Amino acid sequence: MAEQHLHGTPASPGVALGLVWLRPERIDDGRHVAPAEREAQRQVALGALSAAAEALRELAAGLDGEEAAIVETGAMMALDPALTQSVADAVTADGLSAAAAILRATDGYAETIAALNDETLAARADDVRSLGRRAARLTSDDLAREQPPGGEVIIVAHDLGPADVAELAGSLAGVALVGGGATGHAAIVARSLGIPMVTGLAAELLAVDSGATVVLDGTAGSVIVDPSSAVSAATATEVQRNRRAAKRARAEHSRPAVTTDGRKIAVLANVASRAELDAALAEGAEGIGLLRTELAFLDAPDWPSEQQHSDALRPILAGLGGRCAIVRVLDFGADKSPPFLGRIPERGLELLLAHPDALLSQLRAILQSARDHELVLLLPMVDSPSQIVETRGLLESAAGELGIVSLPRIGSMVETPAAAADARAIAAECDLLSIGTNDLTASTLGVNRFTSGDGVAHDPRVLRLIASSVEAAHGAGIPIEVCGEAASDPRMLPLLVGLGIDELSVGAAQVGAVRARIRALDAADAGRLARSTLAMEAAEQVEAAVLRHQRPSESTRGAVQVGL
Ligand code: PEP
Ligand code: MG
């Protein structure tokens, strides 16, 4: 059979080879229930909803931090009185079967949310639908028992809930979805559990037979159905190589990340949960380079209180074992807007400074935590040095109230061309610069970071901004890190080290691989390469130069290695 190539959105990095599993779903059977049977069906429907809530609660109990909170929210939704009422009404008044009533009520709820035309709320709509499918399956004993077959399985579905990914994690090699998005909750859980995932694939994927062979590349966002034996064999080799590399990375976690000519690069982790921190430490992370505090509050009904901030921070920081954490204040806005904010134009620090009480609550929680841990306070989407001065003023007044004399260091993110252009003045006001290449690439090249694969951080226009930011930081005598996805891109590593970056903060599952690549790199050589790329015109030229520079054994592996 001919190979079928499908392209979607990269949602969780890594490569997988496996057999398709289309989980059988309960469908709306359209059966009309006679009045005499309706009470029994109503009981079945409500029983399935509470069984779904119970299963989600149990699942949440085995997870940590952000993943637990996401799954727990599903349990609460299942028992939402408005939802249970409309399910009950659909059975008793309209004569729908238990499964049909659940699917109709949850779809209706999801559609209302999705119609708000907000990317974040659309992700919640997927969660509601997945809850409906889960509860509908529970109305049938056969479907409730359905489990993935053994071996390497790639689940193919329209969309999946975060709980589905967490629950099936042990049996899945990869996830391929027609719906969903890279910022959806299922993707967040897949990334933190290291399961490759692609979203936004063409609907024809759903017509693929269960048991068909599939190659999935969660880094490139591609799927190949019925791959040729050569492609299957190459992918199987890649998967094995990645597994060996991950195992080696764990075994070598205590070896320092030092280049062959003796330059030490700190490798830290991007985390939002304790589970991610533990996984990162096992691979040798030297601390947290970016704690995305907003991810714990994407469903918050209001600005989080000081207590809620402390409750979210405490379990993560408790795992640090004396290492440093760079804790970013809430980066709400754009795709990370909880429902209470609606659709707001502001983002990051600008938004927080417009709500000083909310910022003060988080600053107080961070100051309290900094009594026991070494923390750096990181400011997102900084536009100008005056924003740092204003934040420092608030930090000082919060510290004054709490009787705290020693303030944490302050870091500023460089995520826009404006911030990069002003990097000298920004660096003069803080103790660390942190380049967010995800936003910097998108804003410099004018692409959408969530839907487009067009913009790459090795575009010379982005590289020039990174180079000038490094100069600004070092000119001010402060360190500079990179914490966007580019920090773990093998093509970017020689460029970032060559341009003088001091620290890299990467996804938990990438820490060991990045440390190993640093040990194989010559910093002086990388410096010559990086400087030569600054005068180039196109990303393709940069990529070709990097590939020429890499040793032949590495250059043949290609982009799939990003997901190591
Ligand atoms: C970035 O923009 O690169 C970054 C690290 O911030 P976030 O991905 O959380 O926007
Ligand atoms: Mg950012």
Q: Which residues pair with 96 in a beta bridge?
A: 32
Question: How far apart are the C-alpha atoms of 341 and 388, rounded to whole Å?
Answer: 23
Q: Which letter does DSSP use for residue 291 in this model? A: E
pLDDT surpasses 80 at 115: no
Q: Which of 68-77, 89-98, 257-266 has the highest mean pLDDT?
A: 257-266
Q: What pLDDT sits at residue 121?
A: 62
Q: Is the CB of 415 under 6 A from ligand 1?
A: yes
Active-site choice (5, 185, 309, 373)? 185
Residue 126 Cβ contacting ligand 1 at under 6 Å: no
Q: Phi and psi dihedrals of 292, rounded to 5?
A: -85, 90
Nearest CA to ligand 1 atom 1: 436
Q: Give the position, in ligand 1's atom list, of the atom nearest the Cα of 415.
A: 2
Residue 505 has pLDDT above 90, yes or no: yes
The highest-confidence range among 448-457, 506-515, 528-537, by mean pLDDT, is 528-537
CA-based radius of gyration for the chain? 24
224 alpha carbon – ligand 2 mean position (Å): 31
Q: Count of alpha carbons within 13 Å of 323, Cβ hemisphere only?
A: 23
Question: Would you say residue 541 has pLDDT above 90?
Answer: yes
- Give the end-to-end CA distance of the chain in Å, rounded to a whole number: 30
Give counts: helices (H), strands (E), the chain. 23, 16
Could you report the per-residue pLDDT of 274-301, keeping only the tens digit for each? 878 888 898 899 999 999 998 888 778 8
- Among the options 373, 458, 483, 549, which is catalytic? 483
- Rounded to the nearest angstrom, the distance between the alpha carbon of 281 and the centre of ligand 2 is 23
CA of 437, closest atom in ligand 1: 3
Closest among 242, 244, 284, 73 to 161, alpha carbons compared? 73
More confident residue, 69 or 531: 531
Q: Which atom of ligand 1 is nearest to the CA of 380?
A: 6
Q: What percent of the chain has pLDDT over 90?
A: 55
Known catalytic residue at 483: yes
Residue 487 has pLDDT above 80, yes or no: yes
Query: What is the pLDDT at residue 496?
Result: 98
Cα(483) to centroid of ligand 1, in Å? 7
* Three-state secondary-structure class, residue 261: coil
| More confident position, 198 or 249 | 198
Residue-wise pLDDT for 208-238, tens only, equals 998 999 999 998 889 999 999 999 999 999 9
Signed CA dihedral, 14, 20, 23, 28: sign only: positive
Residue 64 pLDDT class (50, 70, 90 cuts)? low
Residue 141 has a pLDDT of 72
Residue 270 CA, ligand 1 centroid: distance in Å:
10
The finding on whether 326 has its CB within 6 A of some atom of ligand 1 is no
Distance 434 CA to ligand 1 centre (A): 10
Give the mutation target among 332, 483, 496, 505 for probing the ligand 1 site: most ligand atoms within 8 A of CB: 483
3-state SS assignment for residue 529: helix
Whether the predicted model's global pTM rises above the 0.85 cut: no
Rounded Cα distance between 36 and 39, Å, is 7
* Percent of the residues in the chain that have a pLDDT greater than 70, as a whole number: 91
Residue 185 designated active-site: yes
